[in-house]
Amino acid sequence: MWNRIIKAASLAAGAVAGLYGQWSAALNILLIMMAVDYLTGILLAVTGKSPKTEGGGLSSKVGFDGIARKGFIMLIVLVATQLDRAVGNQSMVFQTATVFYYIANEGLSILENADLMGVPFPALIRERLEGMRDRPEE
């Protein structure tokens, strides 16, 4: 039974990696950033400091929405990968640009979570984050 589970998991992982082309370090970083962002969001909620719920606490709906957004990001990266393949980009230009955009986006979210938790970081970064919160459409 255990061998079947390992074989099935290996098959699934291989299929996913094949869809994304070469599995790059940037994709690994994106997955790590997504996990850290999600975990810091949970930590915020556990401490009652989440701005996404009325009482600042945990919400299964908010958690599901976060997972769904991260899944949608991976679908966008998949589309960018397929676009690279369609135009013959061996260097994965569209995938790389898309992945780095989302790495930066996840990084900002992690910094926002750190700010809400009271973790100190330079005032200039804090000011820029507050400015971005005031103008989310940009």
**Where are the domains positioned within the chain?**
22-134
Instruction: Give residue 102's pLDDT.
Output: 94
CB 62 within 8 A of CB 46: no
Does residue 72 register a pLDDT over 60? yes
Distances (CA, A) of 25 to 29, 44, 58: 6, 28, 32
Quick: pLDDT tens for 78-124. 999 999 989 988 888 999 999 999 998 999 899 889 988 988 888 88
Report whether pLDDT(134) > 70.
no
Q: Note the pLDDT of residue 90.
A: 83
Calculate what percentage of the chain has a pLDDT beyond 90.
45
Give residue 70's pLDDT band: very low, low, confident or very high (50, 70, 90).
very high
- What is the distance between the alpha carbons of residues 126 and 120, in angstroms, rounded to a whole number? 9
Structure tokens at 46: 């556990």
Over 60: is that where the pLDDT of 137 sits?
A: no
Contact 76, 90 (CB under 8 A): no
SS3 string, the chain, reads CHHHHHHHHHHHHHHHHHHCCCCCHHHHHHHHHHHHHHHHHHHHHHCCCCCCCCCCCCCHHHHHHHHHHHHHHHHHHHHHHHHHHHHCCCCCHHHHHHHHHHHHHHHHHHHHHHHHHCCCCCHHHHHHHHHHHHCCCC
The neighbour count for residue 11, using CB atoms within 10 Å, is 10
pLDDT value for 2: 83
Mean pLDDT of the chain: 86
The token pair at 61 is 């709906």
Give the pLDDT confidence score for residue 8 in this predicted structure.
84
For the entire predicted model, the pTM comes to 0.80
Q: What is the mean pLDDT of residues 45-56?
A: 87
